[in-house]
Amino acid sequence: MAITLKNGMMQFFSKQSLKRITGSKEWWFCLTLVILAVSCGKPEDKQPGNTNYVTDMGVAYLNTDLKVKYVGDKACKECHASIHQTYIETQTGKSMMKVTSENLIGILPQEMTVLDSVRNFYYEMVQRGDRFFQREYRLDPEGNVIHEREMEAHYIMGSGVNLRNYFSVENGMFYELPLSWYENDIKWDLSPGYREFGNVRFNRYASERCFYCHNGRMQTSSTAHERYVAPHNMGIDCEGCHGPGELHVAEKHGKNIWRPAGESKTIVNPEKLSSQRRMDVCRQCHLQGQSRALRGENGWFDFRPGMLLASHHSEYFTEKIHLEAFKVANTAFRLEQSRCFTESHGATDCIICHDSHGKAGTSGNATQNANCQKCHPPDNLPGEGTRFTHTSSDNCVPCHMNQTASDNTLHGVITTDHWIRIDANMTDVDWTSKREDPGKKPLTRLVPYLDANDDGSDTRLGIGYFTYFNETDNRKAYLDSALKYLTLGRKKQGATAVGEFNRGAVLLTLQQPGRAAQALQTAVALNPKLAEAYFKLGEAFKAQNVFDLALNNYREAKSLLPDEPRYAEGLGQTLILAGQPAEAAAVLEESLLFDRQNSHTYYSLGNLYALTLNDPEQALSHFKQLVVIDPDFPNGYLNLGNTFAMLGQHDAAIRTYEKEIIVRPKSINALVNMGRLQATTGRVKQARKSFLRALTINPNHDIAKRSLEQLPK
């Protein structure tokens, strides 16, 4: 940013583009999940005509129809009190809860604060009465606090057997907090992945896919993405494995339930399902590939126990399967690699060892070993002269099911590897490769592990590559693969709304806005209610400087989801470019009503009020909030200092420039602006130091040279 003179006044503000840049993979993950779906024919396990329930082994499961409603586990408790009581004490039953003094297992006050040495942030959990807050702060070289931010912890995710994550809720959005409690290490530390792959601080929020497995069904907002309507379920409830209970409860209360000819049930008992469907009840949350794509018009909450999981979504793995490392929620995949599973034709499934109604995984060594000995009686096992002499009382698990950490939760989590094999305990675990930047590894190919293998397979694989690009490895080759398969899918099954949406999104990412707009226009023609497609159309037209069409599409997106802050932000940014600053300010202020954590919006409004609307007081309030939310935001402290200077608050401006220099030691603009204010206020010695320091960074900086020459000798 060059400092220039205009009408004799110093120009302080950056000319940085107001276009929002979302570089974090977590952000892309949360945005793309809204639309990962492909149109296709009815799943093969649905019945013809007007009925939409699953039939398995001659039994119709009526509650698999998507129209059947969830009722909550209190309704189940009326008839199943004893089972309910044991279940709510399991890991799944305690998967989510409100934060209270009674259920907080972490040690408070903390024995020591947690330091992110890369970004120079300190973190601590603080209790004030019956409320809990996570505090972030930063120190200057003298140990003074120069930045501080807090968010209240409202909810816990995790039973506490391994760890507990904390969430703050604002306007229905669940923001993950940067500190988690690690039970195995008995300590507070940065949340999973924050230390290994980058501290995203308070900017990660829970998507539908997160809640799909970590909690009971959440009621989603009809006016915005990734927001949830209270009251919220607490813990994975009965209906997560048995399906929605509306019909079953009505039947037990004496109401007449329509039934088809033949045998039918109003609730699913997983034990009564065929082996694949029974396994899929568990696999809905314990099969985690490297990427995924929803099928048809499905949402994440549309799977019902009793369905085939492949009728809901596809899962993709990279070509190489690792013996030594696995994802924390991938136990079903690992089990399915075992000869125990394959040679028993699926009979060795989850429920032979795990009692889901009791303490999960604690049925006792004797029970688990008895399962092993059904096929491996001790008398038939190797004896003397082998690695280990077996007896009937041996515990099979320590040798044949390795206990290790997992590659997406690297610190503090212990997981049992369900890939049963002879020498599992001898696997050498080396996490070095898992901590490396994926972009430095050889390119890989995605292989479908779970897929319906229908006309939409190529389209879903294209979405899988796009997801892999956004979440894991942002090399262009994965975008090229995404475009290739999305194009193949279009040829095979014809244009579909979500297929064309994703093709347009890929083209937009490839900086081909003209082609992107064509695909996105096809998407909205096929589905006029696809709000995200209108938003992307706005982005595509804005990139081509066709502001009238961009504004029309942003407004259409906003009319469909009026509380979605990204839509308001896109509209406001485009109004600025179109020369309509007053309306832009109003729209951007509205977006803050729904998302007060968006640093980009505060930055845009600050610049708008300072540079265009001549309201430095309003600019000051927005820049102040900006540096609280993100003290590392480019030019954040700089423009806050400039605004203090505009208002004649020179000491505040100088202190703010000093913070900018701590964050960015080579910020010439902060040094020069600070030097000029120091000179104006008679602090000539300090001004000289500031100009000289600027010139050590850039010896040819013209303003620094002239300003230094103009100082009194």
Would residue 185 count as lying in a domain?
Answer: yes
Q: Which of 272-286, 315-329, 353-367, 526-540 has the lowest mean pLDDT?
A: 353-367
526-541 average pLDDT score: 98
Cα atoms found within 13 Å of the Cα of residue 113, Cβ hemisphere only:
15
Strand segments (E) across 431-546: 446-450
DSSP string, 103-134: T--S-SS-SS-EEETTTTEEEEEEEETTEEEE
Instruction: Look at residue 1 in the predicted model and tell me its pLDDT.
Output: 35
Helices 565-577, 531-543: axis angle to 10 degrees equals 20
Alpha-carbon distance values, 183 to 72, 412, 616 (Å): 29, 8, 49
Residue 207 falls inside a structural domain? yes
Strand-pairing partners, residue 98, are 155
Residue 523 has pLDDT above 50, yes or no: yes
Rounded to the nearest 5°, which phi and psi values hold at 653?
Answer: -65, -45
* Range with the poorest average pLDDT among 51-55, 307-311, 442-446, 465-469: 51-55
- The pLDDT of residue 49: 38
**Angle 337-343-345 (CA atoms, 0-180°, nearest 5)?**
95
For residue 444, CA distances in Å to 196, 298, 441, 450 come to 22, 28, 9, 18
- The full length of the chain comes to 713
Looking at residue 35, its pLDDT comes to 33
**CA 250, 253, 256, 257 torsion-angle sign:** positive
Cβ-defined contacts of 15-22 (< 8 Å, 24+)? 16/634, 16/635, 18/573, 18/576, 18/577, 18/603, 18/604, 18/607, 19/573, 20/569, 20/570, 20/573, 20/600, 21/600
Annotate 519-579 with DSSP letters as a single string: HHHHHHHH-TT-HHHHHHHHHHHHHTT-HHHHHHHHHHHHHHSTT-HHHHHHHHHHHHHTT
What is the residue-averaged pLDDT of the chain? 87
SS3 per residue for 373-432:
HCCCCHHHCCCCCCCCCCCCCCCCHHHHCCEECECCECCCCCEECCCCCCCHHHCCCCCC
Has residue 163 been placed in a domain? yes
Q: pLDDT tier at 662 (50, 70, 90 boundaries)?
A: very high
Q: Is residue 668, in this structure, part of any structural domain at all? A: no
What is the CA 144 to chain-centroid distance, rounded? 34
In this prediction, residues 681-692 reach a mean pLDDT of 95
Is 115 domain-assigned?
yes
Per-residue pLDDT at 31: 29
Q: Three-state SS string across 18-43, please?
A: CCCCCCCHHHHHHHHHHHCCECCCCC
Q: pLDDT, tens digit, for every residue of 351-379?
A: 888 888 885 445 667 778 888 888 888 88
Instruction: Give the three-class secondary structure for 137.
Output: strand
pLDDT > 70? residue 42:
no
Question: Which helix (H) or strand (E) element contains residue 139?
Answer: strand 131-139
Any domain includes 324: no
pLDDT at 425: 80
C-beta separation of 91 from 159 below 8 A: yes
pLDDT digits over 557-573, tens only?
999 999 999 999 999 99
Strands (E), 153-266: 155-157, 163-170, 173-176, 179-182, 187-190, 264-265
Residues 6+ apart with CB under 8 A from 5: 11
Res 435: pLDDT: 65
**What local confidence, expressed as pLDDT, does residue 27 receive?**
34
Question: Is 653 within the bounds of a domain?
Answer: no
Percent of the chain with pLDDT over 70: 88
> What phi and psi, each to the nearest 5 degrees, are found at residue 646?
-60, -35
State mean pLDDT over 502-526: 98
**pLDDT exceeds 80 at position 696:** yes
Lowest mean pLDDT, pick from 100-114, 410-424, 455-469, 696-710:
410-424
Q: What percent of the chain is modeled with pLDDT above 90?
A: 69
Residue 195: how many other CB atoms lie within 10 Å: 18
- pLDDT greater than 80 at residue 51: no
Give the 3-state secondary structure of residue 57: coil
* Token pair in block for residue 309: 């999981």
Identify which has the larger pLDDT, 203 or 9: 203
In which domain, by residue range, is 158 found?
A: 96-214
* Nearest partner of 358 among 626, 93, 168, judged by Cα: 93
Q: pLDDT grade, residue 500 (50/70/90)?
A: very high
Q: Is 6 exposed, middle or buried (0-12, 13-18, 19+ CB in 10 A)?
A: exposed
Q: Which residue has the tokens 């990734």?
A: 226
Lowest-confidence pick of 42-51, 205-214, 480-489, 500-509: 42-51
Kindly state the average pLDDT of the residues 299-305: 94
Calculate the alpha carbon distances from 643 to 55, 609, 620, 681 in Å. 67, 10, 6, 17
- Tokens 């297929």 correspond to 499
Which pair of structure tokens corresponds to residue 701? 């900086």
Across 352-356, 426-430, 531-535, the highest mean pLDDT is recorded for 531-535
**CA angle at 82 for the pair 76 and 86, rounded to the nearest 5°:** 95
Residue 431: predicted pLDDT? 60
* 404 close to 414: Cβ distance less than 8 angstroms: yes
pLDDT digits 0-9 by tens, 197-251: 889 999 999 999 899 899 988 999 999 999 999 999 899 999 999 999 999 999 9
> Is residue 399 scored above 90 in pLDDT?
no
Would residue 555 count as lying in a domain? Answer: no
Q: Please give the tally of structural domains in the chain.
A: 1
> pLDDT tier at 411 (50, 70, 90 boundaries)?
low
Structure token pair of residue 173? 């959005």
CA distance 109 to 127: 8
Poorest-pLDDT segment among 14-18, 363-367, 596-600: 14-18
Question: For 184-188, 272-276, 367-371, 657-661, which range has the lowest pLDDT when averaged over its residues?
Answer: 367-371
How far is it, in rounded angstroms, from Cα 331 to Cα 324? 13
Q: Which of 585, 560, 46 is nearest to 571 (CA)?
A: 585
SS (H, E, C) 283-331: HHHHCCCCEEEECECCCHHHCCECECHHHCEEEEEECCCCCCCCCCCCH
pLDDT tens readout for residues 82-95 = 999 999 888 888 99
> In the structure, what pLDDT confidence band is assigned to residue 193 with cuts at 50, 70 and 90?
confident
Q: Which helix (H) or strand (E) holds 211?
A: helix 208-214
Segment among 21-35, 86-100, 208-222, 395-409 with least mean pLDDT: 21-35
Other Cβ atoms within 10 Å of 214 Cβ, number: 18
- Specify burial of residue 676 (Cβ count, 10 A radius: 0-12, 13-18, 19+): buried
- Residue 405 is predicted with a pLDDT of 67
The answer to whether the Cα torsion of 475, 476, 479, 481 is positive or negative is negative
264 vs 355 pLDDT, higher one: 264
What region does 226 belong to: left with phi over 0, alpha with psi -120 to 50, or beta? left
